[in-house]
Structure 1
């Protein structure tokens, strides 16, 4: 059972890395792996937490980058909405 457990965890680790490439949050990754790979969210969460412990600086930068991109997207959306409102007020 040890070898198969280790290979299963390695596979989950690899799939989490794929989720990171797609800029997913932990929750998004848990949902995606549950839906598409039939991996229980508790397994994904546990492996994610271990990776986070082992790679603290990476995950801090990753989270900061995700937050910055989300803020930038929100600002752009607000600008587009405001521009649209102004355009509609002219007409």
Structure 2
């Protein structure tokens, strides 16, 4: 278990401070960040919260998963590391372009 949490189904009006305030009821919040769209600057509807310990993270999951925040039911679970994406498919480097 890790202390970093994924928080999904956020209302687009929710900001970093709102996340921090909500999760602080379950322990020390090391960081709270709503992910923003680079092109529009608007929230993408999810974020990440890092709690002070694994126990605090578990308490936050138990207390907040499925609970209403600003009109939306939160989805809170342990954050997974990002998946590695495949290369771009450059044929010169053997990237897997189709050959007919």
Fold conserved (TM > 0.5)? Answer: no
Between Structure 1 and Structure 2, whose CA radius of gyration is higher? Answer: 1
Q: TM-score, normalised by structure 1?
A: 0.34
Q: Which structure is higher in strand share?
A: 2
Q: Which structure is higher in helix share?
A: 1
Question: Larger relative CO (CA 8 A, sep 6+): 1 or 2?
Answer: 2
